[in-house]
Every structure is written in structure tokens, then in C-alpha cells.
Amino acid sequence: DIQMTQSPSSLSASVGDRVTITCRTSQKILNYLTWFQQKPGKAPNLLIYAASSLQSGVPSRFSGNASETEFTLTISSLQPEDFATYYCQQSYSAPRTFGQGTKVEIK
């Protein structure tokens, strides 16, 4: 299985802050990396696919980047509705594996 190491596990930030979350994979996965946002009691919601492609309807303050086995999700200016938990998932091979999540909290 491909191991996903996501960091940090949680962070506190203020509205307007720039936030970056990192996901490292145990092997190369091309760009087959997806980012999800999950709010309490809801299913995860697709934000970014193919490492850097923004899903339709997702605000442009969200962006993704990739370098070898390191992937990042950046929120350029944190908004109140962005406080949530974020997960990465690789879709390069089965079983598809997830990062452990990053909870973004209000400072």
C-alpha cells in the first residue's frame, strides 16, 4: 500500500491567513492526488484533483501543488467557511489511501 503522511495534524489560524497543508507519499504517484474538505457531520467534498486542478465551484483561494512525492494544499486567505478538516488521497493504485487529516481551527 502507498503510505500517506499528512502534516500538520491540526493548526490554528485567523481569517485572512495563508495556510499550507502537506501530504507526502511513500512512492511516486504521478499527479494522482486529490484533496477533500470535510465539515462535521458531512461527507468529504472534492476540492482539487490531479494535484493542482480546481474542482468546479471551488473558490480560487484554494490551490494545489506537487513536487515528486510532496503535495501541498494552500488556502491563500482563510475564510470563516474554510474551518474544517482536510484530507489527501492517492488514486494511483489500489487500495486508495488517505492522509490522516488536518483540522483547521480558528485562532
Binding site for another protein (CB under 8 A): 1, 30-32, 34, 36, 42-46, 49-50, 53, 55, 87, 89, 91-92, 94-98, 100-101
CB atoms within 10 A of CB 97: 18
Smallest separation (angstroms) from another protein to the CB of 49: 4
Enumerate the β-bridge partners of residue 105: 12
Name the residue among 20, 21, 24 with its Cα closest to residue 4: 24
The shares of helix, strand and coil residues in the chain, as percent rounded to the nearest 5, are 5, 50, 45
90: CB partners within 8 A, 6+ apart: 2, 4, 25, 29, 32, 33, 34, 96, 97
Smallest separation (angstroms) from another protein to the CB of 9: 11
Smallest separation (angstroms) from another protein to the CB of 17: 25
Smallest separation (angstroms) from another protein to the CB of 13: 22
